[in-house]
Each structure stands twice: as C-alpha cells, then as structure tokens.
Structure 1
Amino acid sequence: MSHRNVTRLAKSAAVLTAGLLVLSACGSSDDSSDSSSKNSSKGSSKSNLIAIITPSPDNPFFKAEADAADKKAKSLGYTTSVASHDDDPNKQSELIDAAISRKAAAIILDNAGADASIGPVTKATKAGIPVFLIDREINQTGIAKAQIVSNNSQGAQLAAQEFVKAMGEKGDYVELTGKESDTNAGVRSKGYSDVISQYPDMKRVAQQTANWDQQEAFSKMETILQRYPKIKGVIAGNDTMALGAVAALKSAKRTGVAVVGFDGSPDAIAQIKAGTMRATALQPAALGAEMAIEQADKFVKTGKTGQPEKQAIDCELITKENAAEFGVFARL
C-alpha cells in the first residue's frame, strides 16, 4: 500500500472517529435532556404538604378542627401549614394560590362562602390538588373530593326540641342567625323552624343575624331586649352568639330565659353546667377534620377516597344532665 493510501485511510478513520464522538455527544445531550426532564417532572410533583385553611381560630370550634387536622396529618407523616382566611374570600383565594404554588398534596378547607369558594376550589382541583371541605359545604358538587359536614338539620331539630321543652311550648323568643353566605346558617335556622312552627303558642318576635360573632350578638341582644323585655327564650345558630346573648341577659339582669346554642363548645358546656344556658347541639369538629385527613391520605396514595362526596355526621344534644360527658367538641 502506498504512503498516500495509508494517509487517506488514516484521515478516513479520523473522520469516522470524530463522527462517532459527535453522535456520542448527541446521545449524551439527549440523556441529559431526559434526565433534566425527569428532574423537572419530579419538581412539579406534589410535595408532602397538607394545607389546612379555616376561619379564625379565635372561635374555639375552628381552632379545634384545625388542631385535629394538623395532629392527624402529622401522625400520617405529612408536613402541614395551618392558616386562617378570617371569612374573607379574597384572603382565602390567596391562601389557596399559595398552596397551589407549594404543590400541596391536598387542601383541607373550612370555606369562606358557599358561592365565593367555588372558583378557588375549582382552581386547586384543576392544578391537580384535591380539596376536602369540612364543616361548610359549597353550592356545587363534583369539584371537591369530599364535603364533610355535621348533620346540621338533625342537630338543629334536636336543639329546637329542647328549646320548646324549656319554654313550656309557649312564649316570645328571639333567634340569632349566622352569616348569610354560610349554608349552615340557613340549614340550622330551617331546622329550628321545622320544629318550633309546630307550636302555635311560641312566637318569634325577632330574628337577626349576628354573623357568628359574640360581641355582635351581645349588641344585637341589648337592642332587642329594650324592645322586647319579656322574651322567654333565645335560640342561636352557634354557641358564640348564644354566649353573647347570655352576657346581654346578664347585663340586663334578666334571669329565667332559656338559651340554646349549636356547636358544643367548652364555654357553652360551662354555661350549661352553671344553668345560664339550657342546651347546645354538639357537632364533632375533631372527627370531621380527622376524617378529611384520612380521606386525603387515601386519595394521595390510591387516587380514590372510597367515600361519597357529601358526608354528614350526626350531632348530639348536650344538656345539664350529660354535660360532664363532653370535652373539646367531642365525647370524653
């Protein structure tokens, strides 16, 4: 073979080697891209975070459900963030946006309005984050993975039956209702009416919203008592308002007025034991929150909750006779 042919072969081998190196480099680039894509995919997957969003913890009911959800989630190995929307739909939207940006595994929500919450819940669901509603429903199904609430109608009827008994089936009374944007307020009010309307000698002389707030209930009751000083009873949509009514009655030096609430709060139970409240309907805040966490955990792991979307937990009546059997929104 001539020197010229050897040189040509050497050049060809060099070109071939260079080509293989280029192909190899291209292959490395593709592998790197695939790896980057996989890493990116992992980065976009859900975190181990469960976001718990409720109304203000100043209300012991909301604090109890937030604490129960937080404790249960941590026991199952999740990290948590606990925040309050303070019944402000705009703040709720911001908190849900934050949960989405943090790629939460799930959101546990006691919402800020049956209609106002539909949009944010839909947004989270479309982002692939399952939402589990507790305590309050929204006015749409098929968005949240669960809506777990107390059986407000059943609980209200229990409370109303005891209220009727306390008033001796006759006399003037006042009703304090919750936030109009909260479906629970309407359901409880209807439950009260379904029972009390069967007694024609009972007359509701005033019905006003106190927006679940104790101070507002106190102020409203002060005004009502000036106009109707001889009322025999007050039935309230939650214990916080009932406690406001108790304070107003005490300020006006009125005794012997039957006061009934709803929630089963420790403060209400204390008043029942003291004889200044007649009864309350316990809605098990801790149980509902724990159920939501358990179903969220199952959904994260299997893609299903194993339960229907709408779920109701029966309430229990608390009176002086059984008050010692109850603690923080639960039986002892």
Structure 2
Amino acid sequence: MKFKTSLATAVATASLVLSGGAAAMTIGITQNNVGVDSYQTTYDKAFTEAARANPNIDAVVLDAGGDVARQIAQVEDLIQQGVDAIIIWPTNGEAVVPAVRKAKRAGIPVIVTNSNISKAGFDFISAFSGPDNVTQGKRSAEIMCDKFKSMGIASTAKVVHITGQPGYTTATERAEGFENRLPEVCPQVTVIDTQPGDWNREKSQQVMEAFLVKYDNIDGVYAGDDNMGVGALNAAKAAGRDGIIFVGATNFAVGYEAMAAGEYWGSIYQSPVDDAKAALQTAVDVLNGKDVPFLNYFDTPKITQDNMSNYTKPVF
C-alpha cells in the first residue's frame, strides 16, 4: 500500500493506491465525504478491503470531502491517469455531469454508487449501484402510516419532515418517495413542515427544536436517515415531548439502539458494506463485459421495533 498526491486536484488531496500485484484493471473511486458520518466511513473501509482482497484490481481511492469542485478535479485526474473505470459517489448529482461526460468521451466507463446523478447524465454512465432511494422513502411512509393506524390517529396525525442535504440526489429521492407515498396510504395525515438537516445530527436537533417551539402538536417525524432522526429524537427528549413517532432511513447503530430502547419506531435497513462491495463488483463486471442492469439496486427492507430481532445491529 502506498500514498501519492493527486496533482490535478484544485486542493491537495491524498489518494490511496491499493496494488494487488500485477493488476488486470485499475479502478478509481471518488467518494462524497468519508468523514461526514459513520455510513460513509464504513463504506470507505469496506471498499478498500474488497479492492485489496482482489489480486486483479489496482484501486485509486479518493475522497472529495463534500466539495463538488474537488470531486470534479478528481474525476479529471483519474481520466488523465488512464484508469480503466471510475466509480463516483456524487457530491451533487447535477454538478458532476460534465465531468462524467468527459470520462465517457475518454472511453472510461463510469459507475455511480449510492446516490445517483441527475437523469441528464444517464447517457454517460454504465450503471448505478446502490439502494433505490425512492422506494426507501415510500417504505418509510408505509412504516409511519401503519403505526398511526395502529394508534388510531391516522385521521388526525401531523408530521414534520427533516431532509438530507439540498441538491443531493439521495435526499431528493427519499423525500420524493415519502411525500408521494404518504398521502396514498394515509390521505388524512398532514406534513406540516419540511426543513433540511444536511445529514448532520446536531443540525437536525436544532431543526427539531425549532419545530417543537413552532408546533404544539407533532405526532411523527420522518428523517432522511437515522443520524438526523436521532438528532430530532434528542431534541424531543430534551423538551419533554413524548409520544412522537420517529421514522428514518439507513438504519444507523444509534437508530437501532434507540429502537431497542423503545424511543424510535422504524427505519430502512441498509448496509454500507454491501453498498461498497456492490459498487466494486459492478465496475469489475462492466470491465469484463458482463450484462449489468443499468439500475443495479440491492434490497433495503423495513425495520421496526416489531421485527428488529431479525436484523443484526449495524456496525456504523
């Protein structure tokens, strides 16, 4: 294992080169923001380990640190290096499209991982590997509706919605799935407010604090991931507001623990290890000429207090 500096980036960015001997293929990955949450940290570790374990892969592992300009520069650097394939976890689904188009024109297949790029870029990628985020949002709406029905409040419940980072495809798709599905299954439930939590627990806690001051009656909270959902839960606990149903997505360890404590109702089970391995395998399959689905989804089932014993506690 050795380190080198990616000189074409706008700022100094370390790239980890994992060499498995005489590599048959060189695969570069530029990730969104490894340090922002435990999901992305675990994904990074799993990807690195999977690449290292394959003697036919030479992997160039990069992190954009949430900076779209840096990520664009990283894609351009990988093109200049002449890698065989590029995997991108987009910092912004629209802004990276021109860089992805450059890779396509250079004859380098691009696999998008975890969060898709905008549809304007679909012609320039070989496949998307990751969760179906719209379906996740729909399933979260179903979890919440079912709980309201069991409580007898499906005709009166009021919900607040904490979304992920604006402009980020995962946030947009989960919000779309939730907002479209909830009125289908619980037409009398009202979403009274929506604000971004930017995938950040502390910011989401502040958003929830403002909701609690503004609204005397909140029956449910939907958060785009459990990290934000637990931030909202912490705000409610501090304010002494009991009886609120919390539903998230991407079941983090903190969400699982809150479910076990009876404080957090449900989420969507998603493994960053599966996510990382699926992205790498998709790139390998594309390079080997295999028939790969354009939207290569892995399943993300519902998890609630009722069935959580069927799932192991997340490692992230």
- Give the aligned length: 283
Determine if contact 1:47/1:102 at 8 Å carries over to the other structure. no
Cα deviation for residue 47 of structure 1 reads: 8.2
Q: Which residue of 2 aligns with 1:157?
A: 138
What percentage of residue pairs aligned between the two structures are identical? Answer: 23
User: In the alignment, is residue 239 of structure 1 matched against residue 226 of structure 2?
Assistant: yes
Q: Which ranges of structure 2 fall in alignment gaps of 5 or more residues?
A: 1-22
Which residue of the other structure, out of 314, 317, 326, is the alignment partner of 2:299? 314
Amino acid at match of 2:112: L
Partner of 2:43: 65
Unmatched 5+ stretches in structure 1: 1-45
Under a length normalisation based on structure 1, what TM-score does the superposition of the two structures give?
A: 0.78
**How far apart are 1:174 and its partner, in Å?**
0.4
> Cα distance 1:329–1:158, how it changes in 2: closer, same or farther (>3 A)?
farther
Question: Deviations for 1:204-241, whole angstroms, at most 9, x for unmatched residues?
Answer: 11111122222221111111110113211100111221
Counterpart among 281, 286, 289 of residue 268 in structure 2: 281
The answer on whether the counterparts of 1:100 and 1:129 sit within 8 Å (CA) in structure 2 is yes
Q: Which residue does the alignment assign to 1:7?
A: none
User: Which has a greater percent of helix?
Assistant: 1
CA distance in 1, matches of 2:294, 2:142: 30
Conserved in 1, the CA contact under 8 Å of 2:32 and 2:90? yes
How many angstroms apart in 2 are the aligned matches of 1:268 and 1:246? 10
Indicate if the aligned counterparts of 1:108 and 1:131 stay in contact, CA closer than 8 A.
yes
Deviation at 1:143, TM superposition (A): 1.1
Matched residue, 1:23: none
Could you say which residue in structure 2 is the equivalent of 1:54? 31
2:26 is equivalent to residue 79 of structure 1 = no
CA radius of gyration, larger in? 1
Give distance in 1, aligned partners of 2:68 and 2:292. 28
Q: CA deviation at 1:109?
A: 1.4
**Deviation of residue 259 (structure 1)?**
0.6
Superposed CA RMSD in Å reads 2.2
Moved more, 111-120 or 318-327: 318-327
The answer (yes or no) to whether the contact 1:146–1:292 under 8 Å persists in 2 is no
Cα deviation code 1:140-161 (max 9, x no counterpart): 2121121123122222222211
238-247 or 74-83: bigger deviation: 74-83
Q: Distance in 2 between matches of 1:281 and 1:208?
A: 20
**For residues 41-67 of structure 1, what are the alpha-carbon distances to aligned partners after superposition, in whole Å with 9 as ceiling and x for unaligned?**
xxxxx9854322222223122223222
Change in CA separation of 1:320 and 1:138 when aligned onto 2, cut-off 3 Å: same
SS in 1 for 2:93: coil
**CA offsets, 1:304-328, max 9 Å, x none?**
2411322222321111233242243
